[in-house]
Amino acid sequence: MRGACAAVLALAAGCGGSEAGERRIASNLGTYTVSLRSIPHPIPANEPFELVFRVAPDAPDLAVEVDARMPQHFHGMNRVPRVSRRPDGSFRAEGMLLHMSGRWELTIDISQGGRTERAQTDVELP
Amino acid sequence: MNPLLRGAFAALICLQEGEPDRHSAAVRPSLHEFGAYDAPLEKLAAPSALAWGKDDRLYVADTGNHRVAVFRPDGNPVAQWGVAGSGPGAFLGPEGIAVADGRVFVSDTGNGRVQVFDEEGKHLGTWPGLERPRGLSVTGGRVCVAEAHRVRVFTPEGKVVLDLGPFTAPAGVAFEGKGNLYVSDTGNHRVRAFDPEGKLFAEWGGWGEPPEFLSRPGGIVWMKDRLAVADTGNHRIQFFDAAGALLAQWGAPAATAHTGNGWLHAPAGLALSPSGDRLAVCEPLENRVQIFSPAPPPLARRVTTRPWWHAHRSAPVPVRPETSPLAAMADADNHFVYFFDVTKNVSSRLVFRAGGYGRKLGEFNGPAGVAYDPATRRAVVSDRGNRRVQVIELPADPSRGVRVLAAFEPGRLAPAGPGFQRERSVPGGVALDAQGNIYVVDSGNAAVLVFDAGMKFVRTLHRADEAPALWEAVGVSPDGKTVAVTDALAARVFAFEAGGRLLRTLGEGLRRPSGVAVDAKGNVYVADALLGEVLRYDSSGAPAARWGGRGIQPGKFCAPGAIALLGADQLLVDDAGNHRGQGLTLEGKSAFFFSKEGAPLLR
């Protein structure tokens, strides 16, 4: 049953992917492109998962925060994910869990030098 | 009172015997009250702090009148001193006062100093070099001053013995008998407790409405075995033991604005009489002082509901933004930005809501202003407590929510230099021109910072002199050629041309400008919080019209804040003290209300 409860990373307009399971999304003002995939893929319902992603253009002083919310229910996750930079330059967000079925908004906030821009995509959890 | 409201009001209150328990807000009659929202401002104008002296004298920091006013508890005036200014004995918006050992200490907030007087008002000395001092407490030869981001304890000679922080705009400090010090950390919605060596031993609060939580706590006072906290944003007084356990609460927000005797409306300052038998409370929005017995009342009316301005039907009913004229309003107390459909002849209703208290992107801490551009469906929000500006977008599809696009920290992006210190930067009002340029008031630096639509810094507008200033609101003409900013301390509005040259200064008839808008012809509209009026100046700076006055009837205002133009023929006013917005014609005729209730109030 749980296997059937897998999320679909809905494609935001103008987004695409290259590798299997990888999605590319543009930040909301178009400054950054985020290529991300979930582990496992697809995102399981009510089970921990990770996100691995790259940000382009990248810079050593980029700071990244990851979150997920259900806008129609006015709540977010019950967990606070941890984001770390991996040796290959990509980012890894651990400790994520979507505990309800429905539409989630996955957000990646990218900050540099006093400016923050949000990249986001939808996750439909059956 | 509106008959319908009176009926609802009666139905929502029950009378019960006994002491108010710690979970129920209670209304109790005051022993005395003086000053009133509609009394002449010469009596009291936005008093924000008070202190009890000998011979039953009550010393009030009469902030809006830039003076100290002394009363008997029954409201009979005894003395007053001070005028607006920066010389010895003059004040600019004093927000703190303490009396000890025959001396009166006054936080001369706008001038960045504490002044000391004898009890008759003779000037004894000045401590300069403070950053927006507010709360004061004096005991045992130690003077504690709350400044913009810290709290310092001085000896009577001015030597610093403790330097605590950081805090965010702390408004109250109180010594307890053992020498412990309590600080009302207003911008962080909490109370912090320190031992005599400055070691933190307790803290409590956090923003919220339930008992034990706090919303913009203001004045605090130690009362023998408990700390009284003016829980300003929750319109009540809460009492805690030394470690922060809640003991009791009373006070409740008025069922209608300007309700007297026992109801509280944003209480700010507290003072305990020397004998401990009376607690004085001042309410700046009401221009009022009330005096209560701190003993548990034999009969308390418990309030089981929220006040009239709270949303019982708060779920937004979205519309397509391009189909309806929308009014945007920042709610600093509840940390939301609201969008109302203000279509003519349709009951104004809440259609979008963004925010909620917090630090994450999309959350706010005390939003100080919002500007909305219907052409792009984008709004910029001054997220004051988080020291950033957020850019949000209303959805084209009403089934979707408000989308956060980006954020920036104005104080980090503007170049540091003479007259601009990054660590002092605090965003205030915001405005947009037709090109999408973003104008942000930097209240800490008395400047307007201009950014393009891509959040890139463009320029700084400021005055060349170093006069004390408190810039709060900004308006810009659609073509961006005229930028107007309010200075609450100088009671002036400065109009700049786009390049930064000062065009003119508007000031005739102003007491405390709090909102400003500029139309396409260069006319400047100013809301004045103290007068409760809107004033219009023509493009040459000449006064052209004024309307309003303090009150709750249509066309009247209570502490109006932001002001904006809706199209070419209507004006939107954040009627903050009445917890509503009003739409008016450009001749000042009230056209509609908008509020979280979604229905017009008191028509």
Q: Are B73 and B56 in contact (CB under 8 A)?
A: yes
Interface test with A, best of B360, B363, B438 (most A CBs within 10 A): B360
Distance from C-alpha of B20 to C-alpha of B10, rounded to nearest angstrom: 19
Of B261, B248, B295, the C-alpha closest to B276 is B295
Torsion, CA B175, CA B177, CA B179, CA B181, rounded to 10: -30
pLDDT at B259 exceeding the cut of 80: no
**Mean pLDDT value of segment B488-517:** 94
**Mean pLDDT value of segment B123-150:** 94
The topology under which CATH files domain A5-125 is: Immunoglobulin-like (2.60.40)
Closest chain B residue to the Cα of A71, Cα to Cα: B401
Of B527, B438, B539, the C-alpha closest to B497 is B539
Handedness of CA A25, A30, A33, A34 (dihedral sign): negative
Q: Are B325 and B583 in contact (CB under 8 A)?
A: no
Residues of chain B contacting A113 with CB distance shorter than 8 Å: 412-413
Using a CB cutoff of 8 Å and minimum separation of 24, what contacts does B100-108 make?
A: B100/B138, B100/B139, B101/B138, B102/B54, B103/B138, B104/B51, B104/B53, B104/B59, B104/B68, B105/B136, B105/B138, B105/B143, B106/B61, B106/B68, B106/B136, B107/B49, B107/B61, B107/B133, B107/B134, B107/B135, B107/B136, B107/B145, B108/B133
A107 and chain B: CB distance < 8 Å anywhere?
Answer: yes
Of B479, B446, B439, B440, the C-alpha closest to B464 is B446
Q: In what order do the strands lie in the sheet with B457-462?
A: B427-432, B438-442, B447-451, B457-462
Give, in degrees to the nearest 5, the angle at Cα A79 between A74 and A84: 120
pLDDT at B8 exceeding the cut of 90: no
Q: How many beta carbons lie within 10 A of that of residue B103, not counting itself?
A: 17
Name the residue facing B413 among A105, A114, A120 (closest C-beta): A114
Query: Would you state the pLDDT for residue B44?
Result: 95
| Mean pLDDT, all residues of chain B | 88
pLDDT at B413 exceeding the cut of 70: yes
Residues of chain B contacting A103 with CB distance shorter than 8 Å: none
Distance from C-alpha of B218 to C-alpha of B233, rounded to nearest angstrom: 9
pLDDT band at A14 (very low <50, low <70, confident <90, very high): very low
Greatest mean pLDDT among B237-241, B412-416, B436-440 lies in B436-440
Query: Would you state the pLDDT for residue B599?
Result: 43
pLDDT band at B167 (very low <50, low <70, confident <90, very high): very high
pTM: 0.89
Look up residue B111 and give its DSSP letter.
G
**Could you give the C-alpha distances from B330 to B318, B549, B581, in angstroms and in order?**
18, 23, 11
**Mean pLDDT value of segment B467-485:** 95
pLDDT at B12 exceeding the cut of 50: no
How is B391-417 classified by DSSP, letter by letter? Answer: EEE--SSTTS--EEEEEE-HHHHSPPB
Q: How many beta carbons lie within 10 A of that of residue B363, not counting itself?
A: 17
pLDDT at B297 exceeding the cut of 60: no
Distance from C-alpha of B446 to C-alpha of B465, rounded to nearest angstrom: 11
pLDDT at B157 exceeding the cut of 90: no
Q: Which of A39-48, A83-92, B33-42 has the lowest mean pLDDT?
A: B33-42
Of B314, B257, B234, the C-alpha closest to B597 is B314
Query: Would you state the pLDDT for residue B342?
Result: 87
pLDDT tens digits for B304-346?
Answer: 455 555 554 456 677 777 778 899 999 998 899 999 988 865 6
Distance from C-alpha of B402 to C-alpha of B396, rounded to nearest angstrom: 10
**Mean pLDDT value of segment B12-39:** 61
Radius of gyration of chain A (CA): 14
**Mean pLDDT value of segment B221-249:** 93
pLDDT at B254 exceeding the cut of 70: no
Name the residue facing B361 among A29, A109, A113 (closest C-beta): A109
pLDDT tens digits for B335-390?
Answer: 999 999 888 656 668 889 999 999 999 999 999 999 999 999 999 999 999 999 99
Helix (H) or strand (E) holding B3: helix B3-11
Q: Which of A62-76, B71-85, B434-448 has the lowest mean pLDDT?
A: A62-76
A29 and chain B: CB distance < 8 Å anywhere?
Answer: yes
**Mean pLDDT value of segment A54-77:** 93
A72 and chain B: CB distance < 8 Å anywhere?
Answer: yes
Spacing of C-alpha B316 from chain mean position: 26
Give the minimum alpha-carbon distance from B410 to chain A in angstroms, rounded to a whole number: 8
pLDDT tens digits for B560-574?
Answer: 999 999 988 899 999
pLDDT band at A9 (very low <50, low <70, confident <90, very high): low
| Mean pLDDT, all residues of chain A | 87
Q: In what order do the strands lie in the sheet with B246-250?
A: B217-223, B226-231, B236-240, B246-250
How many secondary structure helices (H) and strands (E) does chain B include?
2, 50
Closest chain A residue to the Cα of B405, Cα to Cα: A28
Q: Is the peptide bond before A48 cis (omega within 30 degrees of 0)?
A: no
Give the minimum alpha-carbon distance from A8 to chain B in angstroms, rounded to a whole number: 18
Query: Would you state the pLDDT for residue B10?
Result: 30
pLDDT at B546 exceeding the cut of 70: yes
How is B146-198 classified by DSSP, letter by letter? Answer: E-SS-EEEE-TTS-EEEEE---SS--EEEE-TTS-EEEEEGGGTEEEEE-TTS
Class of residue B513 by CB neighbours under 10 A (exposed 0-12, middle 13-18, buried 19+) = buried
B401 and chain A: CB distance < 8 Å anywhere?
Answer: yes
Q: Are B109 and B95 in contact (CB under 8 A)?
A: yes
A124 and chain B: CB distance < 8 Å anywhere?
Answer: no
CB contact under 8 A, A67 and B406: no
Closest chain B residue to the Cα of A108, Cα to Cα: B361
CB contact under 8 A, A114 and B400: no
Query: Would you state the pLDDT for residue A8?
Result: 53
pLDDT tens digits for A87-124?
Answer: 999 999 999 999 999 999 999 999 999 999 999 999 99
pLDDT at A75 exceeding the cut of 90: no
Strand partners, B179: none
pLDDT band at B600 (very low <50, low <70, confident <90, very high): very low
Give the minimum alpha-carbon distance from B457 to chain A in angstroms, rounded to a whole number: 11
pLDDT at A12 exceeding the cut of 60: no
Which amino acid is located at B390 in the chain?
A: Q
Which amino acid is located at B166 in the chain?
A: P
Helix (H) or strand (E) holding B588: none
pLDDT at A5 exceeding the cut of 90: no
B400 and chain A: CB distance < 8 Å anywhere?
Answer: yes
**Mean pLDDT value of segment B219-229:** 95
Query: Would you state the pLDDT for residue B230?
Result: 97
